[in-house]
Amino acid sequence: MDAGMRRRVELAGRQGKVLRYLAEVSPGGARVGLVEVEWESPLARARGPENVIVFETRRFREWPLVISGPGAGPASTAAGLLADIVRLGQEL
């Protein structure tokens, strides 16, 4: 972790937050990036390769629907990425 990232982690921690890479989809579009998340959020509790999806809708605003479970992990993700690259190379 470089000095800039270390500062971001420390600042977030002092504010009761953690940093997480998130994807957000809304009627206005989609975005992906590193964001500060409140410690109480289900997104903050994800560990290791765990995936967490939070559905916030008009009906699920105060108590959003949360789905979580194990992700693929580094080895499976790398194997899938390599397979995609090989397939792309064959199609070119």
Query: What tokens appear for 27 in the block?
Result: 């009627």
The pTM score is: 0.70
Name beta bridge partners: 57: none
Tokens at 3, concatenated: 């000095």
- Convert the pLDDT of each residue in 26-82 to its tens digit: 889 999 999 999 999 999 998 888 999 999 888 888 889 999 998 888 888 899 999
CA angle 21, 23, 28 (to 5 degrees): 140
